[in-house]
Structure 1
């Protein structure tokens, strides 16, 4: 976890395009209606138990992840959470600094180190070759993923040609990439675009610009003290005036990374809370910081539209892997088969539970295909914009 003292197919399809007719209510009248609850009141008991059980694993994985972040070692392949331990895949000899981090991590949770066939760096190079081929021949497949174990690449296809076509696509892709490529049949993830928030702004609230509606992610700040709402990059453009669901002015985008699908809306006052209840109960939880994301981790998402459908957050979302296209997104799956996100959820908060009864920011929603969710991890916002959770 990192807090203030420590330091950060199409988009319109997930954005809701019809402005709901609500009247703006004054901030003073509404302020008292916000209800902060512990995370135990906002996440189903079984889902919270999974997050709690994983907390030592995440803490151990963080020690190794930060050693890699500082050193950028070439042998690194991936880190994942297994049932009762952390797994680190590495090609070649583990550097002394990483080994020290592993030893320290083992004081918190078991860590196994596995020899990887390829490093992440090698697989990104191979993926770039394959993505260039997909741009020339889209019939080959639509998405390239890198499994955490470094065994090769995974190419997602639409399955229209049957098993024989998928096998041929895998052979061609392997030749192009220069590494083994496994094919899977999966639909493309489409981008997804509460209801009357007020300053200081919370995450998880309905936000609007003249063409579409999305969800605010997290209140963030940087080393200048400026304050922003973090949301999805496809939710707007520079100059777009964003308002709350009730029409109160929030601000305009200050920074946008369209490739990574993240955006900062400059505003005067944000806070470290997110809505987690239904659109009208004003229930939310405190956000205690941010953290890296790991395959195998269980998370929740709190988009404004989904809150209106299911009455709260959608949880039991398990991280599968990171995309290796230019967006560099994370792919996860709602393990009960529920729809993971809906139009209007774009930019909404993805999070886990903290040890102190709040939430830990993990990212913001971008894409969905049924139970599968694509989101950008908070670490990318930290790298791109130098932001962290506001206090």
Structure 2
């Protein structure tokens, strides 16, 4: 088997065209003391790229019947897809004969875009079924994989090639011993799952737990748990099924008790939480507070904001932005895995996790303290005032990278080049919530 680094292979598959992207400065004004480099990093790809992404995402949603990221495997033969907005191509991987209805939708691609069909070794259903065998055994405390290490990430490869498995080797382990462990994991995982498995080594994803927000509360603001000594961020405003106002954040930031902002103002108490979605719903109605469908957009010092107008699904190849109270907004992040099962460093099992990587090596994806913050993208083909919700920041992927000096609230925080976040449409459905839009 090919033992090329799994994460590197996945990123290469999806990000191959990212180097051709051009960047534009953000349209909204920024504080005078903001460094020019920060303004560029807060901008999205150029308008033509975003317009094509918008069109290709609509095509992808039609082909997948608007199914959630972790339910597309229910489509017989479907293996995966990759959106390439730089070239205007939707690459669709399929095992077996592509249904006539799917080809009909593909044939309706607007001028300047097209759909390419590619054969897949495995269907997504086969890979998901195999992955579930490993997950179920691990949760039950049964070791079914050989080797001296535990997996932390299981991903459905977007091209139908199989199941990428990642684990963190023991510190100080020799190269020879690491290779032997990886080989044992790969062989046993293929025996258990019945699909092709590729193994890579990388640090276990880390749960990455605006300065003085006030009611009506927005996304991207700083919050502090009353029961955990950590600062996090808010994601999106919602309405609970009771009609009360709420805010979303990460469950590892606090799944009981309440939250305040850094000045001590009470935001609300925990209304509901699901650890396997790494999501907490803050009931703002407990304090008679209100919420608004906006999020902070810009450096961590900014008071600028943008509107949230809807919630969208995620597709491999899409460009997205993060926003957090510790490091502000980071754009030009590109999705390379849209259906991962992750075992965080705090012990939580979380799915479906979307993983996105920076395409600009002078940028970061987010920092510790941005957990719970919003992930967004274009709602209309522009990086303008109207944005679509994509997810809630959960984890740092692939280990820390160097932070950009002066661009984080706490200069000693840790930054990451890749982000793991939970899919917003799945969260809204699970909690029976309505997204508040502006």
TM superposition shift of 1:94: 4.0
Q: Which residue of 1 aligns with 2:366?
A: 341
Select 2:91's aligned residue among 69, 79, 87: 87
Select 1:379's aligned residue among 411, 425, 433: 425
Select 2:356's aligned residue among 328, 332, 337: 332
1:231 matched to 2:249: yes
Q: Distance in 1 between matches of 2:293 and 2:136?
A: 41
Residues 223 and 168 of structure 1, relative CA distance in 2, 3 Å threshold = closer
Residues 266 and 107 of structure 1, relative CA distance in 2, 3 Å threshold = farther
Residues 100 and 381 of structure 1, relative CA distance in 2, 3 Å threshold = farther
Paired residue secondary structure (2:243): coil
Q: Which residue of 1 aligns with 2:165?
A: 155
Residues 67 and 103 of structure 1, relative CA distance in 2, 3 Å threshold = farther
Q: Which residue of 2 aligns with 1:120?
A: 124
Larger mean Cα displacement after TM superposition, 214-223 or 135-144: 135-144
Could you tell me the TM-score, scaled by structure 1's length?
0.80
Q: Distance in 1 between matches of 2:435 and 2:270?
A: 18
Q: Distance in 1 between matches of 2:42 and 2:301?
A: 23
Could you tell me the TM-score, scaled by structure 2's length?
0.72
TM superposition shift of 1:45: 7.8
Q: How does 1:92-107 map to 2 (within 5 A)?
A: 92-95=96-99, 98-105=102-109
Q: Distance in 1 between matches of 2:327 and 2:332?
A: 14
Residues 245 and 97 of structure 1, relative CA distance in 2, 3 Å threshold = farther
The answer (yes or no) to whether the contact 1:243–1:249 under 8 Å persists in 2 is yes
Q: Which has the higher contact order (CA 8 A, sep 6+)?
A: 1
1:63 matched to 2:81: no
TM superposition shift of 1:265: 0.8
Q: Which residue of 1 aligns with 2:153?
A: 143
The answer (yes or no) to whether the contact 1:116–1:150 under 8 Å persists in 2 is yes
TM superposition shift of 1:133: 6.0
TM superposition shift of 1:194: 0.8
TM superposition shift of 1:222: 5.2
The answer (yes or no) to whether the contact 2:250–2:279 under 8 Å persists in 1 is yes
Q: Which residue of 2 aligns with 1:47?
A: 44
Q: Distance in 2 between matches of 1:374 and 1:272?
A: 23
Paired residue secondary structure (1:150): coil
Number of corresponding residues: 349
Q: Which residue of 1 aligns with 2:281?
A: 264
Residues 97 and 327 of structure 1, relative CA distance in 2, 3 Å threshold = farther
Unaligned 5+ residue runs, structure 2? 1-25, 31-38, 343-348, 401-416
Paired residue secondary structure (2:187): helix
Q: Which residue of 1 aligns with 2:216?
A: 200
Larger mean Cα displacement after TM superposition, 179-188 or 57-66: 57-66
The answer (yes or no) to whether the contact 1:61–1:105 under 8 Å persists in 2 is no
Q: Distance in 2 between matches of 1:388 and 1:119?
A: 33
Q: Distance in 1 between matches of 2:101 and 2:431?
A: 27
TM superposition shift of 1:141: 3.4
C-alpha deviations, 1:236-259, integer Å up to 9, x for none?
A: 123x12122222222112121111
Larger mean Cα displacement after TM superposition, 118-127 or 61-70: 61-70
Q: Distance in 1 between matches of 2:27 and 2:311?
A: 17
Select 2:320's aligned residue among 299, 302, 306: 299
Q: Distance in 1 between matches of 2:29 and 2:121?
A: 41
Larger mean Cα displacement after TM superposition, 57-66 or 155-164: 155-164
Select 2:261's aligned residue among 213, 220, 244: 244
The answer (yes or no) to whether the contact 1:60–1:109 under 8 Å persists in 2 is no
Paired residue secondary structure (1:245): coil
Paired residue secondary structure (1:172): helix
Larger mean Cα displacement after TM superposition, 260-269 or 45-54: 45-54
TM superposition shift of 1:342: 2.0
1:390 matched to 2:436: yes
TM superposition shift of 1:306: 1.4
The answer (yes or no) to whether the contact 2:273–2:279 under 8 Å persists in 1 is yes
Q: Root-mean-square deviation (CA), in Å?
A: 2.8
Q: Distance in 2 between matches of 1:351 and 1:43?
A: 17
Q: Distance in 1 between matches of 2:29 and 2:427?
A: 27
The answer (yes or no) to whether the contact 1:214–1:348 under 8 Å persists in 2 is yes
Q: Distance in 1 between matches of 2:322 and 2:125?
A: 30
Residues 203 and 140 of structure 1, relative CA distance in 2, 3 Å threshold = closer
Q: Which residue of 1 aligns with 2:395?
A: 367
Q: Distance in 1 between matches of 2:294 and 2:164?
A: 37
Q: Distance in 2 between matches of 1:252 and 1:266?
A: 5
Unaligned 5+ residue runs, structure 1? 1-36, 308-312
Residues 75 and 244 of structure 1, relative CA distance in 2, 3 Å threshold = same
Residues 131 and 54 of structure 1, relative CA distance in 2, 3 Å threshold = same
